[in-house]
């Protein structure tokens, strides 16, 4: 009994000893709990945040039921308020139409088009839970790079941004050469280690604004905002060389592994994600047919 009591006292002291700091770290957030964007979280600090379909929104929900600028949440004194931005499909708060501006309380549900967001007023186990679930949902379990679904979402977002600001955007599709013989000889578990090793090299070559993903079994993608064809080709060449110069230890053997890369940039005849990916894929196909271990750019 007395031990339990001591523990309670210690816990309370630990929790409350840095009271002012805890106040400073307090962060409200909204989490998408239903519909498009499921699991995504938007932290709300001192600056207003906007939710909408536009890629410029702080939380983009790319669904036709959502207006480009749908609603805004901001700190007003010591409370958070939500206001509709003239959405075609007006914002709802706890299933009632939002009137002008309304204060939010913990657990409130904000309906934006067909998505429902939950307002969480401060750092909590629940907010961390949503964050963890979201991270699991967007990452590839084997390599910890983005998974294909999240990559496609990010590519759509970056294409929208690049077109709007007339900025370049490039894509590399990367495929491991002759990976089947590695699997056949050493087994899938060792093959998985090789994929993890290649993912580590790709991550090391990506800038913070690039999106690196595993988009298929032994296929990866790297999206490079603000990069033109020549810069991307050079970057892809550095990546190819880095893999080719790495000695992979597989079941005690030292093995050289190579990759082939197809590069494409956004252009007027390919302004959609599928067209951009198809062009990079075609370049990759040429790299494979030209003998592998090489970078080919769009024709
Ligand atoms: N270990 C492992 N292997 C995988 C995974 N996903 C796909 N593969 C294997 O990757 C291999 C791909 O083989 P292929 O498509 O024939 O291509 P390749 O042997 O790499 O030859 P090229 O692409 O023509 O250079 C197959 O053996 C798949 O089983 C995975 O998650 N882990």
pLDDT tens digits in sequence order for the chain, 299 residues long: 334 333 333 333 223 323 333 333 457 999 999 999 888 889 898 899 999 999 889 999 989 999 999 999 999 998 999 999 999 999 999 999 998 899 999 999 999 999 999 999 876 787 778 878 888 889 999 999 999 999 998 999 899 889 989 999 999 999 999 999 999 999 999 999 999 999 999 999 999 999 999 999 999 999 999 999 999 999 999 999 999 999 999 999 999 999 999 999 999 989 999 999 999 999 999 999 999 999 999 97
**How close is the Cα of 217 to the center of ligand 1, in Å?**
6
What SS3 state is found at 247?
A: strand
pLDDT score recorded for residue 123: 67
- 257-to-73, 83, 176, 248 alpha-carbon distances in Å: 50, 55, 8, 7
Token pair 């494979």 is at which residue?
Answer: 288
Which two structure tokens, joined as six digits, stand for 199? 């993912």
Q: DSSP code of 263? A: E
Q: What radius of gyration do the chain's Cα atoms show? A: 24
- From the list 220, 208, 212, the residue with the least C-alpha distance to 262 is 220
pLDDT score recorded for residue 224: 98
pLDDT score recorded for residue 8: 35
Separation of alpha carbons 51 and 57, rounded Å: 5
Q: Closest residue (by CA) to atom 12 of ligand 1? A: 180
Which atom belonging to ligand 1 lies closest to the Cα atom of 260? 25
Pair 291, 282: CB distance under 8 Å? no
pLDDT score recorded for residue 169: 98
Q: Closest residue (by CA) to atom 11 of ligand 1? A: 180
**How close is the Cα of 180 to the center of ligand 1, in Å?**
5
Ligand 1 residue neighbourhood (C-beta within 6 Å): 175-180, 183, 188, 191-192, 195, 217-218, 288, 292
**How close is the Cα of 80 to the center of ligand 1, in Å?**
51
Q: DSSP code of 72? A: E
Q: Closest residue (by CA) to atom 23 of ligand 1? A: 177
- Catalytic residue IDs: 218
Token pair 């079941």 is at which residue?
Answer: 251
Which atom belonging to ligand 1 lies closest to the Cα atom of 192? 1
Separation of alpha carbons 217 and 274, rounded Å: 19
- 186-to-119, 197, 245, 249, 253 alpha-carbon distances in Å: 50, 15, 21, 11, 10
What SS3 state is found at 91?
A: coil
Pair 172, 222: CB distance under 8 Å? yes
Q: Closest residue (by CA) to atom 26 of ligand 1? A: 180
pLDDT score recorded for residue 26: 52
pLDDT score recorded for residue 126: 79
Pair 26, 122: CB distance under 8 Å? yes
**How close is the Cα of 198 to the center of ligand 1, in Å?**
13
**How close is the Cα of 194 to the center of ligand 1, in Å?**
11
């Amino acid at each position: 009994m007395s031990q339990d009591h001591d523990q309670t006292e210690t816990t309370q002291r630990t929790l409350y000893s840095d009271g002012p700091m805890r106040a400073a770290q307090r962060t409200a957030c909204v989490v998408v709990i239903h519909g498009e964007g499921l699991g995504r979280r938007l932290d709300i600090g001192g600056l207003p945040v906007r939710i909408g379909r536009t890629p410029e929104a702080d939380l983009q929900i790319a669904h036709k039921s959502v207006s480009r600028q749908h609603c805004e949440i901001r700190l007003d004194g010591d409370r958070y308020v939500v206001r509709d931005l003239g959405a075609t499909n007006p914002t709802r708060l706890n299933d009632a139409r939002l009137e002008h501006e309304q204060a939010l309380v913990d657990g409130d549900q904000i309906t934006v088009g067909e998505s429902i967001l939950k307002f969480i007023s401060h750092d909590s186990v629940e907010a961390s839970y949503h964050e963890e679930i979201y991270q699991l949902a967007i990452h590839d379990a084997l390599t910890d790079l983005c998974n294909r679904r999240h990559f496609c979402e990010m590519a759509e977002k970056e294409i929208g941004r690049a077109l709007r600001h007339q900025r370049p955007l490039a894509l590399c599709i990367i495929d491991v050469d002759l990976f089947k013989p590695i699997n056949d000889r050493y087994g899938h578990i060792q093959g998985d280690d090789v994929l993890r090793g290649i993912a580590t090299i790709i991550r090391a070559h990506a800038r913070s604004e690039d999106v690196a993903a595993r988009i298929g079994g032994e296929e990866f993608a790297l999206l490079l905002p603000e990069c033109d064809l020549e810069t991307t080709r050079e970057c892809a060449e550095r990546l190819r060389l880095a893999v080719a110069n790495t000695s992979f230890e597989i079941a005690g053997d030292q093995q050289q592994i190579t990759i082939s890369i197809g590069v494409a940039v956004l252009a007027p005849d390919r302004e959609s994600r599928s067209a951009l990916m198809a062009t990079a894929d075609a370049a990759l196909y040429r790299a494979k047919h030209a003998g592998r271990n090489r970078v080919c750019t769009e024709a």
